[in-house]
Amino acid sequence: MDKVDIVIIGAGVVGLAIAYRLSKMNKEIILIEKHENFGMEESSRNSEVIHAGIYYPEDSLKARFCIEGNRMLYELCKKYDIPHKKTGKLIVANTKEEKENVESLFQQGKKNGVLGLELLTEMQIKKLEPNIRASFALFSPETGIIDTHQLMKFYETQSESNDIIIAYHSEVTEIQKNDDFFILDILDSEGEHFQIGTSIVINSAGVTAGKIASMAGIDIDKAVYRIHPCKGEYFSISNRHNGKIKHLIYPTPSDNDLGIHATLRLDGTLTLGPSAFYVNDINYDVDAAHQGEFFNSTKNFLPFLDYGDISPEMSGIRAKLQAKGEPFRDFIIQEESEKGLPGLINLIGIESPGLTASPAIAKYVKDLVNNF
C-alpha cells in the first residue's frame, strides 16, 4: 500500500484551492476525484459571482471567508490573468417591506465590513440601470463575476507543477482509521480497488461530504453534518437583451436563498436564477414547467422581459446543511480530534458563497494542517 502525507477528497473549486495552497508545503499530497475532470459538480453549476459578503451573520465563517476570499480572488485574477469583471450589483426593492429588507442588508453588510455599500434612490438607479424597475436599491461595488473553469484550471496546473498528484476517475469508497493513519479504499476507472495510507484526510467532497464523514465513522445526524441537497435552476435570457443591464440585479433574499436574480456572464449573455428547492436525488434536468415561476418572480424588476424571452439553461445542487424551514447554518470546517479522528479535516455544507470563499477557506485549512 502506498502512503502519502495528505489526501484531499474532491477536485471542486474548494479542494483545488486547498491543493494549490498546500502544494508549497513540500509534502506528499494526492487529490482524489471520482469524475474524469475537475469541477463537474457544484463548482461548474453556479452563478460564478464573486460575492461581497453582505448577507451572512457577522462573525460567521461565511461572512469572514467571503470577505477575505473576495479580496484574495480579485488579487489572484489580476496577478494570473484569470478572466473576471467587477460588475457591481444592485439589490432592488419596490415595496415598503422590500425597502426595509434592503436597509437591513445595508446594515448587515456594513457590520460585516463590506466596502463601498451605498443606498440608492430611484433617480440614482435610473442613471446606473435605465432598463430596470426599482424605487430603492443597495449598491455593492465589490461584487463581480469570474470564469470559474479558468480559476480551477489555474489551481490544477499550479498544483501539478508543484508535484501534487491529481487522481481522476478515482472514487473513495471506504475509510478506516488505524492507530496513527487512515486507509482509504479507492475504486479506479478500471473497476479495480486500491488502497492509500495517509495521516491527514481533507474531506472536500461537496454534496457528498456528509457521506465521507460517515464513512470515516462520524454519526452525521448526531454531529448535524447531514447535507440536504437543494437544487437551483437557471433560465437563459434571449440574446436580444444582451447589454440591457450592466450590473448583477438581485431581488431581496428569502430565508434559504438569494432569490432568482439576473446574472451577467463574462460573454455578455444574461441569465436568470438560481431557484431553490430541496431534492432527494442528484439530477441536473431543468423543468421547463418552471418558466412561469422564473418569469413572474423577475418581471417586476426586469420589465423589458417577455415570457418567451427565457428558456431552460442548466442547474446546480447546493450542499446545504440547513434543512427546509431551518434557520441559518454556517460552513463547518474542522479537524476532528475531538471526535476521536485526529487528522481528519471535514468541510461540510460548503454552499454559496463557497466559490468566493475558496481561497480563504484554503488558507484556513492550511493553518489546521500546520497546527495538527
Ligand X SMILES: Cc1cc2nc3c(=O)[nH]c(=O)nc-3n(C[C@H](O)[C@H](O)[C@H](O)COP(=O)(O)OP(=O)(O)OC[C@H]3O[C@@H](n4cnc5c(N)ncnc54)[C@H](O)[C@@H]3O)c2cc1C
Residues engaged in binding ligand X (CB under 6 A): 9-15, 32-35, 39-43, 45-49, 51, 171-172, 204-208, 212, 232, 274, 316-318, 350-356
Nearer to ligand X, 43 or 140 (CB): 43
**Among candidate residues 239, 246, 5, 226, the one with its CA nearest the CA of residue 143:** 246
* Closer residue to ligand X, CB minimum distance, 50 or 136: 50
For cell 460588475, the residue is 87
Q: Report, in Å, the least distance between residue 230 CB and ligand X.
A: 8
Closest distance of CB 126 from ligand X, Å = 26
Whichever of 32 and 136 has its CB closer to ligand X, that residue is 32
Closest of 12, 50, 54 to residue 31, by C-alpha: 12
- Nearer to ligand X by Cβ, of 8 and 136: the residue is 8
The radius of gyration of the chain from alpha carbons, rounded to an integer in Å, stands at: 21
**Core vs surface per residue 30-53: b (16+ CB within 10 A) or e:** bbbbbeeebbebbbbbbbbbbbbb
CB of 313 to ligand X, least distance (A): 11
Under a CB-based contact definition with an 8 Å cutoff, are residues 104 and 91 in contact? Answer: no
Grouping H, G, I as helix, E, B as strand and the rest as coil, residue 245 is coil
Q: State the nearest-atom distance from the C-beta of 168 to ligand X, in Å.
A: 9
**Shortest distance (Å) from residue 318 CB to ligand X:** 4
Q: How far is the CB of 176 from ligand X (least distance, A)?
A: 15
Give CA separation, 15 vs 18, 42, 43, 269, 327, in Å: 5, 12, 10, 29, 27
Closer CB to ligand X, 136 or 210, in the complex = 210
> Residue number with the shortest CB distance to ligand X?
354
How far is it, in rounded angstroms, from Cα 45 to Cα 48? Answer: 8
Q: Which is nearer to ligand X, 55 or 139 (CB)?
A: 55
How many other C-beta atoms can be found within 10 angstroms of the C-beta atom of residue 151?
Answer: 26
Minimum distance from residue 53 beta carbon to ligand X (Å): 10
The three-class DSSP label of residue 200 is strand
Instruction: Report the alpha-carbon distance of residue 261 to residue 338 in Å, rounded.
Output: 41
Residue closest to 286 by CA, chosen among 357, 234, 338: 234
When the beta carbons of 279 and 288 are compared against ligand X, the nearer one is 279
